[in-house]
Amino acid sequence: MNFFGYKRADGRAGIRNHVLILPTCACGSESARIVASQVRGAVNIIFNTGCSDVQANTDMSQKILTGFACNPNVFGVVIIGLGCETVPHAKLREKIQSMTAKPVVSFGIQEEGGTLKTIAKAVRAARELVAEAGLQQKELCDISELLLGIECGGSDATSGIASNPAVGSLSDKLVDLGASTLMSESIEWIGGEHVLAKRAASPELHNRIIKICADYETHLKAAGQDCRAGQPTPGNKDGGLSTIDEKSLGCIRKGGTRPIVEVLNQAERPTKRGAIVMDTAGYDISSVTSMVAAGCNAIIFTTGRGTPTGNAIVPVLKVTANAKTFSWMEDNIDVDLSGIIAGELTIADAGDLLLQKIHDVCNGRLTKAEAYGFSDIAVDHFCRFV
């Protein structure tokens, strides 16, 4: 299977050709938004951190920002900083340039003499990059170039028995075709981690999956929290999920059945192809953020109760098997798999349908969140602000 994508110098293929307006910190976010609004072909993210933080959180912020810039869906980057943030724009630019051959320029609001002067320079730079991006022709790419992020949010009883298994079928089909899939949100493995770990390709990976979940519970207990009481969420419970074990057994099904070839830290770029898992927080938007930073060029997102979430850099295809949710939130949900619940659609057939939908997205079809211009970003913090 092939798709038409944008070949990057590092060998990866993008399915979009964005110029990213990237703030270094919260203080640059509004300027970045205004610049992107003035340049067709540019996208921005709103970053609510990046300064006055402890080192672990600063490191994660930098990992996310550089990962966004290096994502294969990005052609070039315009960085906007304030000037007094923890990691100035020039240092972030140099870091990104050390990791990629993409064009990268940067500006500091304090250095340029204020917002209007910065925006004027950044708009001009962004327009030049968009003009260059327009010259890049799509090329025929093998489906093995796809790294599909897999996420769920607003789950209900239909998620674990229908939409998640359908996405699991999709994952298996893609892996068999040579592509890679990446499942995250490790708190939602707890209670089913022994089942997930059985898919590990080696004893080391098996033990790491088990340890991630054990460490997570230990960490929460040290903070006086119990994930088995906090999960499922109130919305999950209203949707028919009673325990974290029940939720996890449904959640892990969206990762399919193929051997897990790699277990990643948060926002870490894969080094292998196949079925992969990532250790992330129990929050769908921060998990998607980490998977985009890791280089996913598309995301598939299952939901039972419905969600509008999207990402500026990567298309997010939302799927539900709840007929009422699809009817009520059709403006937000891309694919209706309620035929599984009705007995009109098999899991395997649903996997084939999703494969075609993802193939269409790879070839340029916009998801609903993408068409709206939605961009949800959340960075997981290890520690509290200083």
DSSP-assigned letters across all residues of 163-206: IHHHHHHHHHHHHHTT-EEEE--GGGGTTTHHHHHTTBSSHHHH
300 token code pair: 């598939």
Element (H, E) at 149: strand 147-152
The pairing of strands 104-108 and 74-81 is: parallel
Rounded Cα distance, 98 and 77, in Å: 14
Q: What pLDDT, on the 0 to 100 scale, is given for residue 218?
A: 85
Phi (first) and psi of residue 108, to 5 degrees: -115, 130
Provide the 10 A C-beta neighbour count for residue 32. 28
Rounded (to 5) percent helix, strand, coil in the chain:
45, 15, 40
* CATH architecture assignment, domain 18-133: 3-Layer(aba) Sandwich (3.40)
Q: Which residues pair with 275 in a beta bridge?
A: 181, 260
Q: What pLDDT, on the 0 to 100 scale, is given for residue 384?
A: 44
For residue 135, count CB atoms less than 10 angstroms from its CB and return exposed for 0-12, middle for 13-18, buried for 19 or more: exposed
Domain ranges of the chain: 18-133, 144-372
Over the chain (386 residues), the average pLDDT of each successive run of 10 is: 96 97 97 98 94 90 97 98 94 96 98 98 98 97 97 87 95 98 91 94 97 87 70 61 63 94 97 97 92 98 94 97 96 97 97 98 98 93 54
Element (H, E) at 109: helix 109-112
What is the pTM for the complete model shown?
0.94
